[in-house]
């Protein structure tokens, strides 16, 4: 009996010591983390955040705690990097340490660490390397990316002309165009603009993408372990993501039935051939990664590029003097008898400057995708632990208006037109489509093609 009592006392003592050591280690860790507002149990800093304007909330916290600070989204701790200098220092100067992909609750519901965008470690490296090489081959083959963009721009112009000059919402017009450029490489063919399945696909992409920016989307991000089980708009977003996966899976099955290993038609064929060549049972070239990598490419490219173009046309309507100068340059360099080409950029400094200003001002994903440090990382005077720190990058807010002064023809020297390093840094997780296809070709050829044949008007003054 005495021995049992002593054993119990010893066990309780050991547990108490272990608990105290754990608290001490956590306290020491907290001292090394960036400063930030004090969180409440479970809800974290929810009461200090405006879920409809998360980036504004982070900027206000940054004004108090500096460009690197800690905040708790519900029970999840993240570190926010605010401003060009902090973002560049992390994503460029310490690119390897910050190359992990952090949690994205809505998308993680479907991807679960698969696919080129939301994977980590060796899987991410292999899928990224394969995707870049394959997309580059198809983007610069017999029908290069420039020709595909030119062709699709023609279809868009005809579709807009078919409206008879009526006022339109350009969202789906631009989404169809951008999506078809990607489709021609990923699926080997384009869709008809009135294809019901295609329109449903675009609607699902837009719906799930927009959900993540809503107040409920942010709440789902904070409390995903609970929200994924409750009814609400998040269930519709999950349904849309599942519909997208089902569509891609059906496309993969079609390619499997007609695959010719000696003549790959598209990205899916190339991935299937690589799967056949693999002898490693633990290979990353599996059906799950094929379906979700294809969805990554299709989804990300469509929404980001089409949204950038939409912002661009809105800004041109707001600044008709800028649009007029772009028209003048297009008429002088390209004329009406041929399509714009990428090589025209060198002769069109004003148009190129306008495109850069649109991209700077648009800032369509101000917080980017969450990162995760790949190891315990010292950043400035802080220590970011590997296991539970998700750095989020937040650039400084842009001014309320596009800056026409920056587009003065007297300021358009060669060096001023070069895209600055801090504007579009190349990192270990730079978008694959941006790296291979769209970083250079897409904006210039698209905007020049549209403005060559169209003017933009709004029924009311643009906001």
**Domain annotation covers residue 105:** yes
**Domain annotation covers residue 390:** yes
Is the pLDDT confidence value at 229 over 70?
yes
> What local confidence, expressed as pLDDT, does residue 437 receive?
52
SS3 377: strand
> What is the pLDDT averaged over residues 380-392?
76
Range of the domain at 80: 36-112+365-397
Instruction: Using alpha carbons, select from 292, 291, 414 the residue that is nearest to residue 345.
Output: 414
pTM here is: 0.82
Cβ burial, residue 11 (10 Å; 0-12/13-18/19+): exposed
Instruction: Using alpha carbons, select from 152, 187, 190, 100 the residue that is nearest to residue 387.
Output: 100
**Domain annotation covers residue 236:** no
**Domain annotation covers residue 144:** no
**Domain annotation covers residue 156:** no
What are the beta bridge partners of residue 372?
100
Question: Using CA atoms in the order 6, 11, 17, 20, what is the torsion angle rounded to 10 degrees?
Answer: -130
The tokens for 413 are: 């020297």
**Domain annotation covers residue 268:** no
Q: Which long-range contacts (CB under 8 A, 24 or more apart) does 213-217 make?
A: 214/52, 215/51, 215/52, 216/51, 217/106
> What local confidence, expressed as pLDDT, does residue 338 receive?
86
**Domain annotation covers residue 317:** no
> What local confidence, expressed as pLDDT, does residue 409 receive?
41
Q: How far is CA 72 from CA 41, 42, 101, 339, in A?
A: 10, 9, 18, 51
Instruction: Using alpha carbons, select from 81, 69, 82, 83 the residue that is nearest to residue 37.
Output: 69
What are the beta bridge partners of residue 71?
78
pLDDT tens for 105-143 read 899 999 999 999 999 999 999 999 999 888 887 765 545
**Domain annotation covers residue 391:** yes
Is the pLDDT confidence value at 5 over 90?
no
Q: Please list, in sequence order, all residues whose beta carbon lies within 8 angstroms of the beta carbon of residue 344, skipping any fewer than 6 positions away.
A: 333, 334, 444, 448
Which residue did the predictor score with more confidence, 205 or 279? 205
State the DSSP code for 335. Answer: -
**Cβ(181)–Cβ(148) below 8 Å:** yes
State the DSSP code for 38. Answer: P
**Cβ(371)–Cβ(321) below 8 Å:** no
**Strand order across the 68-73 sheet:** 68-73, 76-82, 390-394
pLDDT band at residue 3 under the 50/70/90 scheme: low
**Cβ(381)–Cβ(107) below 8 Å:** no
Number of domains present in the structure of the chain = 1
Q: How many CA atoms lie within 13 A of 370 on its CB side?
A: 22
- Cα–Cα distance between 271 and 285 in angstroms, integer? 7
Residue entry with tokens 């990097």? 81
- Cα–Cα distance between 221 and 227 in angstroms, integer? 9
């Amino acid at each position: 009996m005495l021995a049992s009592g002593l054993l119990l006392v010893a066990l309780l003592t050991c547990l108490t010591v272990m608990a105290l050591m754990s608290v001490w280690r956590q306290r020491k860790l907290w001292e090394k983390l960036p400063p930030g507002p004090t969180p409440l149990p479970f809800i974290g800093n929810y009461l200090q955040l405006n879920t409809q304007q998360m980036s504004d909330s982070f900027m206000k916290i940054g004004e108090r705690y500096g460009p690197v600070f800690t905040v708790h989204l519900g029970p999840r701790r993240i570190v926010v990097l605010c401003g060009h200098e902090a973002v560049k220092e992390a994503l460029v100067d310490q690119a390897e340490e910050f190359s992990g992909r952090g949690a994205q609750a809505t998308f993680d519901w479907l991807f679960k660490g698969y696919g080129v965008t939301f994977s980590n470690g060796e899987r991410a490296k292999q899928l990224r390397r394969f995707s870049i090489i394959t997309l580059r081959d198809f983007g610069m083959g017999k029908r290069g990316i420039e020709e595909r963009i030119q062709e699709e721009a023609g279809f868009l112009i005809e579709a807009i002309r078919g409206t008879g000059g009526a006022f339109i919402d350009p969202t789906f017009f631009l989404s169809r165009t951008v999506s078809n450029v990607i489709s021609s490489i990923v699926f080997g063919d384009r869709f008809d603009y009135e294809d019901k399945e295609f329109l449903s696909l675009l609607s699902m992409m837009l719906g799930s993408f927009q959900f993540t920016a809503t107040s409920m989307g942010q709440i789902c991000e904070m409390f995903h372990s609970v929200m994924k089980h409750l009814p609400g708009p998040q269930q519709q977003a999950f349904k849309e993501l599942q519909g997208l996966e089902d569509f891609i899976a059906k496309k993969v099955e079609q390619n499997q039935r007609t695959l010719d290993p000696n003549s790959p038609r598209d990205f899916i064929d190339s991935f299937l051939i690589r799967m056949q060549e693999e002898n490693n049972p633990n290979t990353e070239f599996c059906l799950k990664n094929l379906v979700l990598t294809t969805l990554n490419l299709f989804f990300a490219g469509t929404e980001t590029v089409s949204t950038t173009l939409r912002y661009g046309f809105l800004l041109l309507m707001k600044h008709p003097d800028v649009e007029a100068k772009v028209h003048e340059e297009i008429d002088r360099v390209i004329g009406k008898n041929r399509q714009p080409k990428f090589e025209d950029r060198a002769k069109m400094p004003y148009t190129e400057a306008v495109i850069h200003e649109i991209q700077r001002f648009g800032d369509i994903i101000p917080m980017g995708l969450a990162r995760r440090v790949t190891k315990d990382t010292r950043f400035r005077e802080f220590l970011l632990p590997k296991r539970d720190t998700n750095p989020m990058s937040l650039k400084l807010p842009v001014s309320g208006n596009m800056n026409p002064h920056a587009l003065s023809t007297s300021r358009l020297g060669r060096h001023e037109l070069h895209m600055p390093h801090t504007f579009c840094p190349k990192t270990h997780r730079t978008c694959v489509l941006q790296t291979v296809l769209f970083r250079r070709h897409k904006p210039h050829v698209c905007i020049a093609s549209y403005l060559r044949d169209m003017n933009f008007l709004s029924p009311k003054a643009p906001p």
